Structure 1
Amino acid sequence: MADLPKVYLLWHVHHQAGQGSKVHHFEEPDDFWADEEAGDDVKLLGTYSSRDAARDRIDRARQLPGFSDEPKCFYVEEFVVDEDQWTEGYVTD
């Protein structure tokens, strides 16, 4: 079976400090965490055909206001095209 095509989603998180706490940023490449309930702002910058194209976009975004304040808080997420991500049902409370 041939490899299915992949896409690369590029995310950025602007982290907010919780009440009386310090802002924590990504520490390592491929690190990702966000707490939107605490005010973290998660943005999808785009979907790219390669990891290199996503990294090129990171370089350009780091020059822009806002993104330059958190230059380490980018995350590239790989997805296989036409592959189910959520394979089970769910319940709500």
Structure 2
Amino acid sequence: MEVYLLWHTHVDHMLDGGEDVKLIGVYSSIAEANSAIERKGSCEGFRDHKVGFEISTYTLDKDTWSEGFVTQ
């Protein structure tokens, strides 16, 4: 089964790293995620940064990171 994560990112130079990334929600379909974009698109902040929405697809019960990591 797949789920759809809705993210919003916008550049804010006042923040460390310069980006503000928010996970808006997790949805059962692309249609539900797109409906959330429509709902949020009129809210303060989001209405000025509509290009910042992104939908990511994830499969449940499956690793999406397949290796370890190194700290440098």
TM-score between the two structures when normalised by the length of structure 2: 0.88
Greater Rg, structure 1 or structure 2? 1
Q: Give the equivalent residue in structure 2 for 1:59.
A: 38
Deviating 4+ runs (over 4 angstroms): none
Identity %: 43
Instruction: Name the structure, 1 or 2, with higher relative contact order (CA <8 Å, separation 6+).
Output: 1
Superposed displacement of residue 91, structure 1: 2.0
2:50 to 62, 68, 71: 71
Higher strand share: 2
The number of aligned residues is 71
SS at 1:72's partner residue? helix
Which ranges in structure 2 are unaligned for 5 or more consecutive residues? none
Structure-to-structure mapping, 1:1-80, within 5 angstroms: 5-16=1-12, 37=17, 39-80=18-59
Task: Supply the distance in 2 between the matched residues of 1:16 and 1:74 (Cα, whole angstroms).
Answer: 15
Q: Deviations over 1:52-84 (max 9, x none)?
A: 100000000001000001112100000001111
Coordinate RMSD, CA, aligned: 1.6
Which ranges in structure 1 are unaligned for 5 or more consecutive residues? 18-35
Higher helix share: 2
TM-score between the two structures when normalised by the length of structure 1: 0.70
